[in-house]
Structure 1
Amino acid sequence: MAASTANVDEITAQLEDCLSKCGFEVSPLKVGWYNSLLPASFHLAYPDDTLAVVVLSTPSMFEQAFLPFMEERGYQGLSDPIDQCVKHQVSSAVSQCFPGQEVDVRYDYELLPSRKPKFLAQTAAHVSGAAFYYQKSDVIDQPWDEKKMFGVCVHPKFGGWFAIRALLVFGGVPVGSEMAQPVPPDCVPSREGRIQLLEGFNFHWQDWSYRNIVHPVQTYSQKQRDYFATPPAQRFALLKSWGFLPKETINLNQP
């Protein structure tokens, strides 16, 4: 029996209740919407009517989730601390909201054995209606000829000041036809704006100006900017300078 829209709303509301206070947003989608835009090698191996939910982090995640996570738990020096925090928050929410239910959780940093990503984050965000995925093909009379241009998502409220973190696939939850596919907000409708966005993202991403292509309601705090502006290999040293010690160091000091 197909799940009703009410069931989808209930699942989404449960996740929001757990995750929104930590600076995350969730948006539901059907697997078929996602698969229809991609070649077979990137398809999710689920029926088209299967429910999935994409999880985004907003600018407040850093202060509401990441810094408290560092304060309470520290970090392991084996993987990215932000990834560790996101995995903790999402897996805790899934365990709390859906105990005993099988949920296929895929994180943006995870790769398959083939080295392909476990899901294409920007495509998932686009088909869920959470953010518009602007690509080279969205520009009329492209000025770049054959030059490769990477696409980028823009959030209607946060512009580029957000990140796509995870995809949750509810394998046992088929969705009825009454769940209509949303249209993502076209925040950058003009050709000039789209050229500015894609050139900013591809050629000047370090200055972060592309993130302000729309007026955001919130941006990253200065501390968060300092963190993400620091090369990944040096972020552990930055965390130590903030007083956060890796778990291994803490454990060695314990009796």
Structure 2
Amino acid sequence: MGSMESRVAALERRVRGCLCDFGFEVSPLKVGWYNAVLQPSFHLRYSEDTLAFIVLSTPSMFDRAFKPFVDKQLLKKINDPVDQCVSYHLSLVKESLPDQRVDIIYDYEILPNRKPKFLAQTAAHVAGAAYYYQRKDVRCDPWGEKKIYGVCIHPRYGGWFAIRGLLIFPDVQVPFLEQVAPVDCVASEEKRIELLKKFNFHWRDWSYRDIIEVKERYSEEQKAYFAAPPAERFKWLELQGVVQRSVYC
């Protein structure tokens, strides 16, 4: 392994060390892989060999990161509590690498033209983190003129995960990085149609998330939190005794 490869391996270990114990999962990618499958209007404005990491939250993030964060931190009521938790942990990655330039893009950020700053599911797919199933992956399309949205499925967690952000290292070039294909875990036509139907028309019942056999899913507590309307999640945390009113700033 060359010196640059060793540096990048050490950098990846540092990123994983900051995040994986808290229920996050990290996968490396090159910006060029992402840009290659999208129209220019969605491109990330970095050189093609720039290193990035897609960050996912797994089911254990709720207990390992979110609840401890809520217990100890000053929550700002103007922001979503989970978004604040993710921001806190990704900021710690940046602080742990003072000699590196690190750009962070969160999944919820949008541009002035209302387009997302990055397409999270596309990034997860090209990084090999989760397979992005779309209408084009179904040969016999049963939906006619209906708008059908795609969804990522993780080989271990099914739909019980979330894509939280992208860490970009503009000064780190990785021409040697080899792309890993995502696991096609919903391989049959029948299952893909079932997945897209459930995601588009019955997403509130959680059933699309169990389209495959999963190793871990959200706890009932976690499901109750995410089922609450975003505006009521602070109230939910209060009612569960997770936070006191006085922690807000």
Provide TM-score, normalisation by structure 1: 0.93
Please state if 1:204 is matched with 2:202.
yes
Q: Give secondary structure in 2 for the equivalent of 1:192.
A: helix
Mapped to 2, the partners of 1:108 and 1:116 lie a distance apart of: 12
Q: Match for residue 125 of structure 1?
A: 124
Q: Give secondary structure in 2 for the equivalent of 1:147.
A: coil
Distance apart, 1:9 and its partner CA: 2.5
Mapped to 1, the partners of 2:6 and 2:52 lie a distance apart of: 15
Q: Match for residue 217 of structure 1?
A: 215
Identity among equivalent positions (%) equals 54
Code of the residue aligned with 1:191 in structure 2: it is E
Checking the alignment, whether the CA contact within 8 Å between 1:160 and 1:212 is kept in structure 2 is: yes
Distance apart, 1:8 and its partner CA: 3.0
Checking the alignment, whether the CA contact within 8 Å between 1:58 and 1:162 is kept in structure 2 is: yes
Checking the alignment, whether the CA contact within 8 Å between 2:76 and 2:248 is kept in structure 1 is: no
Instruction: Return 5+ residue gaps in structure 1 as ranges.
Output: none
Please state if 1:230 is matched with 2:197.
no
Mapped to 2, the partners of 1:14 and 1:131 lie a distance apart of: 22
Mapped to 2, the partners of 1:169 and 1:128 lie a distance apart of: 13
Code of the residue aligned with 2:77 in structure 1: it is G
- TM-superposition CA deviations, 1:148-187 (whole Å, max 9, x none): 10000000100000000010111001112x3211110000
Distance apart, 1:251 and its partner CA: 7.2
Within a 5 Å distance, the mapping from 1:85-234 to structure 2 comes to: 85-96=85-96, 98-176=97-175, 178-234=176-232
Checking the alignment, whether the CA contact within 8 Å between 1:31 and 1:48 is kept in structure 2 is: yes
Distance apart, 1:250 and its partner CA: 4.0
Within a 5 Å distance, the mapping from 1:47-86 to structure 2 comes to: 47-86=47-86
Mapped to 2, the partners of 1:250 and 1:43 lie a distance apart of: 40
Distance apart, 1:41 and its partner CA: 0.7
Code of the residue aligned with 1:200 in structure 2: it is K
Q: Match for residue 14 of structure 2?
A: 14
Provide TM-score, normalisation by structure 2: 0.95
Code of the residue aligned with 1:179 in structure 2: it is L
Code of the residue aligned with 1:173 in structure 2: it is V
Q: Give secondary structure in 1 for the equivalent of 2:91.
A: helix
Q: Give secondary structure in 2 for the equivalent of 1:161.
A: coil
Code of the residue aligned with 2:72 in structure 1: it is E
Instruction: Return 5+ residue gaps in structure 2 as ranges.
Output: none
Mapped to 1, the partners of 2:198 and 2:6 lie a distance apart of: 41
Please provide the CA RMSD for this pair: 1.5
Distance apart, 1:3 and its partner CA: 7.8
Distance apart, 1:245 and its partner CA: 2.9
